[in-house]
């Protein structure tokens, strides 16, 4: 239908105020219209994916919309689900996202369309148009359009009417069963106030006449709208390897501390996929190398991704390529965000302990908790004062303690204090170089932190690894048996057999390639799994089997 591809006003701009959710309708279907703190306007289907509750009953926290019923969170921009309280330790799949509709703001109005719209909202010039006061009418849109068309001499033409003399146009917006809103635009003629008063008087008279004779209206049974196509290629679920479908332009390089540069990456076209706090992307860099970088920004910021990279003197090429060869304006290929280090948002309090540049995923987490008003404390260990990246940002978010220049013994003593067991249950997030993480995990365990409350992400896997010995993996769900030869990884053997498994770091650090083990004895060589997770999971990129056969849940 032509009307499905037309822009319709669904709200006045000043009705969509910060931290609120406005209920609107588009061609009889309910919408949730809300504005994020960064100004992004969202027009979504007014329905939570979980139990169908109206999202207009929920909370706008400035970057995410939270369903009132079971607390599912959706990110501004993409409507991607960022958090499911019933599964606090898991990152929701990227395929879970609400329906979004095109949105435009013009003439002091918020416009939307059921399908990709053709043309502009109005033929009038936005710089020289008078926006008429909206007029609610207790009558069905078709009745309002018929009466208004007769009044202004317009031919019957649906719910968008133009005055015969070309000086005004009107849009009839459905506003629930038997109710409509007339929104109008007019060419300015003399004093604006007097012209507005004239239009208002005319529309008020029309409203009274319509309401005096309007018949009762049946509730619409129109089918649900199709979602607007996303602005990015979400890729096939379960796609193997380091697929890099995103194209990101380097919009800004900023030195944020000694040897640390922040890169602001914007999409070449469309919208970026939702990222949850703790997520990272794979970046394809000059020289044919791919590296993983945690995102500094969090849900709802889909206009850009931000990463910070320290130039490592022992760089294997990644940080050197970014620092020395990547310039503003360059375009890099990137993966969709992965999250193997999800933030639980259900703890009474949270403690963050970062070593050096390991603070990056924790910055995104601290931002999310600060926005939600959830308490946390942030500790940052560095060698020199100049390495304290994001010091002001973190201090503004909540309690922040820098720890500078400790020798190894002093660092352990400081960690012992920082990691004193809490009186009430807290979550602990650790990220940094391997030696520091090993020490922090040991101290946390000695101080009585339950293992399930300690979450960690290593920069790299420095454990010695072997590829000796052959074995087989049986795939329980695919009914396949795959031999893994000496010198070959499980991941490579699976891919060779046509079984797709996602991966990222391929060194046992990020957790992307982890699968469940149903039978057999894994030989763990990763640094991403906790002792409890090692009971029944394996990182397929590095770990092997010490039994002749493993059965995997694939
Ligand atoms: S791909 Fe990163 S742990 Fe296997």
Nearest Cα residue to 394 out of 408, 377, 406, 410: 377
Atom of ligand 1 nearest to the CA of 540: 4
Say which residue, 441 or 233, is predicted with more confidence: 441
Residues 507-549: tens digit of each pLDDT: 999 888 999 999 999 999 999 999 999 999 999 999 999 999 9
Average pLDDT over residues 444-457: 94
Residue 108 CA to residue 111 CA, distance in Å, equals 10
What value does the mean pLDDT take over residues 247-257? Answer: 96
Amino acid 490: pLDDT: 96
Task: State yes or no: pLDDT of 506 exceeds 80.
Answer: yes
Strand partners, 545: 522
Q: In angstroms, what is the span from residue 293 Cα to ligand 1's centroid?
A: 14
pLDDT of res. 313:
79
pLDDT the model gives residue 357: 95
pLDDT digits (tens, 9 = 90+) for 156-203: 667 888 888 888 899 888 877 788 889 989 988 888 888 888 888 989
Closest ligand 1 atom to Cα of 491: 4
| CA 541 to centroid of ligand 1, rounded, Å | 6
Pocket test for ligand 1, best of 460, 490, 513 (most atoms within 8 A of CB): 513
CB 72 within 8 A of CB 48: yes
pLDDT band at residue 345, thresholds of 50, 70 and 90?
A: confident
Ligand 1 centroid vs 500 CA: distance in angstroms? 14
Residues of the chain above pLDDT 90, percent = 52
CA of 126 to the centre of ligand 1 (A): 52
Range ranked top by mean pLDDT from 84-98, 224-238, 457-471: 457-471
Mean pLDDT, to the nearest integer, of 403-429?
92
pLDDT bucket at 346, cuts 50 / 70 / 90: confident
* Residues making up the chain, counted from first to last: 554
Query: In which band, very low, low, confident or very high, does the pLDDT at 233 lie, cut at 50, 70 and 90?
Result: very low
**Helices H, strands E: what count in the chain?**
9, 33
Q: Which pLDDT score, from 0 to 100, does residue 256 have?
A: 97
- Tens of pLDDT, residue by residue over 89-112, are 788 887 888 999 999 998 889 999
pLDDT of residue 232: 42
Whether residue 2 is predicted with pLDDT greater than 60 in this model: the reply is no
45-92 pLDDT per residue, tens: 999 988 888 999 999 999 999 998 889 999 999 999 999 988 887 888
Percentage of residues in the chain with pLDDT exceeding 70? 94
Ligand 1, pocket-test mutation among 456, 465, 508, 515, most atoms within 8 A of CB: 508
Place of tokens 């030195």: 255
Predicted TM-score (pTM) of this structure = 0.78
| pLDDT score of 235 | 45
3-class secondary structure, 269: coil
Burial (CB count <10 Å: 0-12, 13-18, 19+), residue 146: middle
Residue 226's pLDDT band (boundaries 50, 70, 90)?
A: low
Least confident of 18-27, 223-232, 302-311: 223-232
- Band the pLDDT of 29: cuts 50, 70, 90: confident
Helix (H/G/I), strand (E/B), else coil: 86: coil
Closest residue by Cα to residue 369 from 409, 427, 309: 427
SS3 518: strand
Q: How confident is the model at residue 218 (pLDDT cuts 50, 70, 90)?
A: low
Per the prediction, the chain carries an average pLDDT of: 88
75 phi, psi to nearest 5 deg: -85, 140
Q: Are 544 and 552 spatial neighbours (Cβ–Cβ below 8 Å)? A: no
pLDDT of amino acid 156: 62
107-125: average pLDDT: 87
For position 163, what pLDDT does the model report?
85
Question: What integer pLDDT is reported at residue 216 of this predicted model?
Answer: 63
* Closest to 430 measured CA to CA, from 418, 446, 447: 418
Give residue 19 CA to ligand 1 midpoint distance, Å. Answer: 39
Question: Does residue 115 surpass a pLDDT of 90?
Answer: no
- DSSP H helical segments within 373-407, as ranges? 391-397
Give whichever of 71-80, 184-193, 235-244, 353-362 has the largest mean pLDDT: 353-362
Residue 362 pLDDT > 60: yes
Confidence of residue 3 (pLDDT cuts 50, 70, 90): confident
Given pLDDT bands bounded at 50, 70 and 90, which one contains residue 229?
very low
Neighbours of 404 (CB within 10 A): 13
CA distance 7 to 107: 13
Residue 231 has pLDDT above 50, yes or no: no
Tell whether the model's pLDDT for residue 491 goes beyond 80: yes
Buried b (16+ CB within 10 A) or exposed e, 285-296: beeeebbbbbbb
**Residue ranges around ligand 1 (CB below 6 Å):** 503-506, 508-513, 526, 528, 539, 541
Q: Whose CA is nearest to atom 3 of ligand 1?
A: 508
pLDDT of residue 234: 42
Select from 293, 501, 503 the residue to mutate for testing ligand 1; criterion: most ligand atoms less than 8 Å from CB.
Answer: 503
Q: Is 536 exposed, middle or buried (0-12, 13-18, 19+ CB in 10 A)?
A: middle
pLDDT at 286: 85
pLDDT for position 32: 95
Rg (CA), the chain: 28
Residue 549: count of CB within 10 angstroms of its CB: 13
**Where is pLDDT greater, at 154 or 281?**
281
What mean pLDDT is predicted for residues 263-279? Answer: 92
Question: What pLDDT, on a 0 to 100 scale, did the predictor assign at position 486?
Answer: 94
Question: Could you tell me the distance, in angstroms and rounded to a whole number, from the CA of residue 393 to the centre of ligand 1?
Answer: 31
- For residue range 384-415, list pLDDT tens digits in order: 999 999 999 999 999 999 999 888 889 999 99
More confident residue, 24 or 153: 24
Q: How far is the CA of 48 from the centre of ligand 1 (A)?
A: 33
Task: Give the distance (Å) from ligand 1 centre to CA of residue 287.
Answer: 22
Confidence of residue 221 (pLDDT cuts 50, 70, 90): low
DSSP string, 138-204: SS-HHHHHHHHHHHHTPPPBTBEEE-TTSSEEEEEEE-STT-EEEEEEE---S-HHHHHHHHHHHHH
């Amino acid at each position: 239908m032509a009307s499905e591809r037309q822009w319709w006003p669904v709200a006045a701009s000043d009705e969509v105020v910060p931290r609120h959710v406005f209920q609107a309708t588009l061609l009889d279907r309910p919408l949730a219209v809300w504005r994020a703190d960064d100004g992004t306007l969202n027009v979504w289907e007014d329905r939570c994916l979980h139990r169908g509750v109206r999202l207009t009953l929920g909370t706008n926290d400035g970057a995410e919309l939270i369903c009132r019923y079971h607390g599912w969170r959706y990110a501004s921009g993409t409507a991607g689900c960022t958090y499911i309280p019933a599964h606090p330790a898991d990152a929701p799949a990227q395929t879970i996202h609400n329906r979004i509709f095109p949105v435009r703001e013009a003439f002091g109005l918020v416009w939307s369309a059921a399908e990709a719209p053709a043309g502009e909202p109005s033929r009038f010039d936005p710089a020289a148009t008078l926006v008429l006061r909206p007029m609610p009418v207790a009558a069905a849109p078709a009745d309002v359009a018929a009466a208004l068309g007769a009044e202004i001499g317009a031919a019957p033409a649906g719910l968008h009417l133009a005055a015969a003399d070309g000086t005004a146009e009107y849009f009839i917006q459905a506003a629930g069963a038997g109710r409509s809103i007339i929104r109008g635009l007019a060419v300015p003629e003399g004093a604006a106030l007097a012209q507005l008063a004239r239009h208002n008087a005319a529309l008020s008279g029309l409203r009274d006449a319509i309401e005096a004779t309007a018949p009762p209206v049946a509730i619409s049974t129109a089918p649900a709208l199709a979602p607007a196509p996303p602005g990015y290629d979400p890729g096939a679920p379960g796609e193997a390897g380091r697929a890099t479908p995103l194209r990101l332009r380097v919009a800004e390089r900023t030195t944020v501390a000694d040897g640390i540069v922040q890169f602001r990456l914007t999409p070449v076209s469309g919208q970026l996929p939702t990222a949850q706090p703790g997520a990272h992307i794979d970046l394809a860099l000059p020289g044919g190398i791919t590296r993983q970088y945690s995102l500094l920004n969090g849900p709802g910021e889909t206009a850009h991704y931000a990463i910070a990279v320290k130039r490592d003197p022992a760089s294997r090429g990644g940080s050197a390529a970014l620092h020395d060869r990547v310039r503003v304006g360059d375009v890099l290929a990137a993966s969709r965000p992965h999250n193997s280090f999800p933030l639980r948002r259900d703890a009474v309090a949270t403690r963050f302990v970062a070593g050096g540049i390991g603070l990056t995923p924790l910055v995104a987490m601290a931002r999310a908790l600060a926005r939600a008003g959830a308490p946390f404390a942030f500790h940052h260990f560095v060698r020199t004062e100049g390495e304290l990246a994001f010091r002001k940002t973190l201090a503004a978010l909540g309690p922040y303690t820098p720890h500078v220049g400790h020798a190894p013994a002093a660092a352990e003593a400081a960690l012992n204090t920082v990691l004193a067991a809490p009186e009430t249950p807290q979550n602990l997030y650790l990220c940094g170089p391997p030696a520091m993480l090993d020490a922090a995990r040991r101290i946390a365990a000695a101080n009585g932190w339950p293992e399930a409350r300690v979450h960690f992400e290593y920069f790299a896997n420095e454990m010695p690894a072997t590829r000796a010995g052959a074995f087989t993996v049986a795939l329980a769900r695919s009914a396949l048996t795959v031999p893994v030869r000496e010198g070959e990884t499980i991941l490579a053997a699976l891919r060779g057999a046509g079984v797709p498994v996602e991966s990222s770091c391929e060194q046992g650090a990020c957790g992307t390639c982890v699968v469940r083990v149903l039978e057999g004895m894994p030989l763990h060589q990763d640094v991403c799994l906790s002792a409890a997770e090692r009971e029944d999971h394996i990182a397929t990129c590095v770990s092997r089997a010490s039994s002749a056969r493993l059965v995997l849940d694939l």
